[in-house]
Each structure stands twice: as structure tokens, then as C-alpha cells.
């Protein structure tokens, strides 16, 4: 049990916390944060697991660096989409309009 | 009651997921790896043209990943711009201005630009490189935006298109040129490796900063009346 392995286990725990939030929370921005937490957990597992035997391993580090940049871009795109969705529908979660919105509001949202 | 049941169900499922993941990590950590990647990398580092192993992996040994990554970034940037509410990303109405921030910027922006240049150059022999430099450059662009400095290059036009696609275009050009020259796709000639890597890193820095800045700007900041747009605020 080396400290590096501890990083990998912490990454697994982060994945679990992120999954919990991703399933339960309905607010889209928080869902996005939870999803990012899962991603960070995966990065931590990748780096921690690779370096527990023979010190820092540049190959997974480079892959994680690539992953971080893609994750940032995807997160930013998701925020743009969520804001657009909010502008069009006035809602912050993805519940279907048939269940919880009065018909006139649903029509207004669709009209936009 | 239903809610409590649902929460505990999800919590136990997540705990089971974490337990499975931890078990797998323990199993993997106990088995020896068939190839010693750090040693092989150290053997071949001399051929890569740079001294920093992470940069060597990113831009020489696994440059295919980096090429696809900047492709993903360009697509994300274009998608972000195309769903933006306004036709121009550089609308004076959307520009916030903060006098305190503006005064602070005159000290911060030159330093941040210097730091971005240093990080870009440092990438060849110590931690640093295109992504870190691009992030710093994008952050200084966001600061400039928040402080109310006009940024004309964000208007739809040649500068925006060039800035977004420059990194991907130059990278692809180098890859195709090396393939046409008789080598393999993305295999640089060894004597030119260092020059090519520095050129690619420079254009990557510009493009990454541009994509991040465009994505930030395409989510408008001041829109007090906009939730009424959908009619159900």
C-alpha cells in the first residue's frame, strides 16, 4: 500500500460520489459538476495506479493531460448548451413538460 | 418515504460500484506490467527532439492523440459559437466593465502573457507546454473581457476562423507532409523534430486559448431579462 495507490483508491471514491450526484441531482449544472467529479476520479485512478510501482510514469500523465483539456472543452460546451436550454425553456432540469408544467407554459416553451 | 428509499438505493448501488472499482484497482496493482513503459520512454527520449518526457509523449510518440484532441476542441468551439444567442461574440452590449479590474489588468495582463510564453518554451525540457500556456492565455483573455477591453478578433470573420483552426490545420499539415515525404503519418524527420514540435506547440497554444475564450464568451454574462425569453421564467 503505497501513497500512489491511495490516490487510485481516492479516485475510485470520487467516481462513486460523482455517480451518486449524477443519478440523484436534477439541476443540470450540478449534474455537470458531478459528472466532472467522476472524470477527475478516473484521471486520479489512471495516474495513481500507473506510478505506484516505479515512480511517475509520463505516458499516463500525458494521456490524462489530454483528457483534462478535452474535459474542459466538453464542460464549457455543456455549460453553453445548458444556458441555451435555460433561455429557451426557463427550466434548469430535464423533466418532461407533460408531467409538471401546465399546458400553456409548455406551449410557450415549444413555441420558442 | 419514496425519496428516502430512492436515495438509499442509489447510495448502495454507488457503494457497490466503489467497492468493485477498489477491488479491481487492488488486483491490477498486484500484477506486474508486461512492459516497462517509463524505461522504454527513457531509452527513446533522445530521438524525440525534446527533453521533457511528457511533452515527448504528447507531441511525438503519441501525437495522434493530441491531433484528435485539438480536433475535438475545434469542434466544441464551433458548436459553442453556433448555439450562442448573439450573432457577434463581440457585442459592446454584452461587454461587462469593471474599473477596478481594468486598473488591475494593466499589471496582470503583461505578466500573464509573459508566463504563457515561458510555459510554452519550458515545455521542451521541464513541466509546461501548449496546454498550460493555452490555459493561461485564455484566462488572460477572459480577464480582459471582464474588464471591458474590446477584443475585435472575436467578431465573426477571418481572425476568429483562423484562430480557431490554426492549431489543427498546422498539425494536420505537418502530419500529411511527413506522410507524403515517404515517412509515416505524423512521424517527424529526426533532425527537424525539435523545430516542428515547437512550431506545433505555439499554434496549439493560440488555438486552445481561442477555443476556451470563444466558449466562455458564447455564454453571455449580463442577461437580466433573458429568462423571459421562453415565456415561462
Residue of A16, A71, A100 best to disrupt the B interface, most CBs of B under 10 A: A16
Cell of A100: 409538471
A 26-45 → B contacts, CB under 8 A: 45
Between B60 and A39, residue with greater pLDDT: A39
Nearest to B230 among A20, A73, A108 (CB): A108
Between B26 and A56, residue with greater pLDDT: B26
Q: If 0-12 CB within 10 Å is exposed, 13-18 middle and 19+ buried, where does residue B181 land?
A: exposed
**Is pLDDT at B94 greater than 80 in this prediction?**
no
Closest CA to A15 of B16, B26, B3, B8: B16
**Is pLDDT at B228 greater than 50 in this prediction?**
no
pLDDT at residue B224 in the model = 42
Between B176 and B232, residue with greater pLDDT: B176
| Cβ <8 Å between B41 and A59 | yes
Nearest to B69 among A13, A70, A86 (CB): A70
Residue B112: which pLDDT band, with cuts at 50, 70 and 90?
very high
Section B28-48 average pLDDT: 81
Q: Residue A19: its chain B contacts at CB < 8 A?
A: 14, 17
Closest CA of chain A from B104, distance in Å: 26
| Cβ <8 Å between A16 and B10 | no
Burial B25-53 (b: 16+ CB within 10 A, else e): beeebeeeeeeeebeebeeebeebbbebb
Q: Report chain A's mean pLDDT, rounded to a whole number.
A: 83
Q: How many Å apart are CA B188 and CA B194, to the nearest integer?
A: 9
Residues sharing a CB contact under 8 Å with residue B160, sequence separation 6 or more, in sequence order: B81, B89, B153, B154, B210, B214
Residue B17: which pLDDT band, with cuts at 50, 70 and 90?
very high
Q: Residue A24: its chain B contacts at CB < 8 A?
A: 6-7, 10
pLDDT at residue B229 in the model = 42
Residues sharing a CB contact under 8 Å with residue B9, sequence separation 6 or more, in sequence order: none
Residue of A77, A92, A93 best to disrupt the B interface, most CBs of B under 10 A: A77
**Is pLDDT at B127 greater than 50 in this prediction?**
yes
Report pTM.
Answer: 0.81
| Cβ <8 Å between A59 and B76 | no
| Cβ <8 Å between B37 and A59 | yes
Write out chain B in H/E/C secondary structure. CHHHHHHHHHHHHHHHHHHHHHHHHHHHHHCCCCCCHHHHHHHHHHHHCCCCHHHHHHHHHCHHHHHHHHHHHHHHHHHHHHCCCCCCCCCHHHCCCCHHHHHHHHHHHHHHHHHHHHHHHHCCCCCCCHHHHHHHHHHHHHHHHHCCCCCHHHCCCHHHHHHHHHHHHHHHHHHHHHHHCCCCCCCCCHHHHHHHHHHHHHHHHHHHHHHHHHHHHCCCCCCCCHHHHHCCC
Is A59 at the interface with chain B, CB within 8 A? yes
Is A65 at the interface with chain B, CB within 8 A? yes
Q: Residue B33: its chain A contacts at CB < 8 A?
A: 53
Of B39-48, B163-172, B190-199, where does the model show the most confidence? Answer: B163-172
What are the tens digits of pLDDT across the range B62-92? Answer: 888 889 999 999 999 888 888 876 656 666 6
Residue of A nearest to B128 (CA): A65
pLDDT at residue B92 in the model = 67
Amino acid at each position: 500500500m503505497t501513497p500512489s495507490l491511495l490516490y487510485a483508491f481516492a479516485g475510485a471514491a470520487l467516481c462513486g460520489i460523482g455517480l451518486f450526484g449524477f443519478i440523484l441531482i436534477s439541476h443540470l449544472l450540478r449534474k455537470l459538476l458531478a459528472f466532472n467529479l467522476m472524470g477527475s476520479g478516473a484521471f486520479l485512478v489512471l495516474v495513481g495506479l500507473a506510478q505506484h510501482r516505479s515512480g511517475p510514469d509520463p505516458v499516463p500523465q500525458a494521456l490524462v493531460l489530454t483528457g483534462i483539456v478535452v474535459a474542459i472543452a466538453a464542460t464549457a460546451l455543456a455549460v453553453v448548451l445548458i444556458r441555451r436550454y435555460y433561455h429557451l425553456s426557463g427550466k434548469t432540469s430535464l423533466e418532461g413538460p407533460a408531467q409538471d408544467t401546465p399546458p400553456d407554459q409548455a406551449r410557450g416553451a415549444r413555441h420558442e | 418515504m419514496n425519496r428516502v428509499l430512492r436515495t438509499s438505493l442509489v447510495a448502495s448501488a454507488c457503494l457497490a460500484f466503489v467497492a468493485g472499482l477498489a477491488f479491481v484497482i487492488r488486483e491490477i496493482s498486484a500484477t506486474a506490467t508486461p512492459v516497462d513503459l517509463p524505461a522504454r520512454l527513457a531509452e527513446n527520449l533522445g530521438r524525440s527532439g525534446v527533453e521533457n518526457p511528457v511533452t515527448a509523449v504528447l507531441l511525438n510518440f503519441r501525437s495522434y492523440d493530441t491531433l484528435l484532441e485539438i480536433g475535438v476542441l475545434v469542434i466544441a468551439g464551433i458548436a459553442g459559437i453556433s448555439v450562442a444567442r448573439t450573432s457577434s461574440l463581440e457585442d459592446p452590449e454584452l461587454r461587462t466593465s469593471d474599473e477596478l479590474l481594468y486598473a488591475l489588468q494593466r499589471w496582470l495582463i503583461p505578466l500573464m502573457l509573459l508566463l504563457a510564453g515561458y510555459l510554452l518554451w519550458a515545455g521542451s525540457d521541464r513541466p509546461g507546454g501548449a496546454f498550460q500556456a493555452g490555459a493561461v492565455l485564455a484566462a488572460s483573455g477572459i480577464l480582459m473581457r471582464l474588464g471591458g477591453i474590446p477584443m475585435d478578433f472575436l467578431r465573426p470573420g477571418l481572425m476568429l476562423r483562423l484562430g480557431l483552426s490554426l492549431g489543427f490545420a498546422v498539425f494536420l499539415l505537418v502530419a500529411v507532409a511527413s506522410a507524403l515525404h515517404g515517412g509515416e503519418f505524423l512521424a517527424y524527420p529526426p533532425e527537424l523534430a525539435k523545430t516542428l514540435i515547437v512550431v506545433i506547440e505555439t499554434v496549439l497554444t493560440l488555438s486552445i486559448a481561442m477555443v476556451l475564450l470563444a466558449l466562455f464568451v458564447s455564454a453571455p454574462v449580463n442577461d437580466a431579462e433573458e429568462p423571459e425569453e421562453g415565456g415561462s421564467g
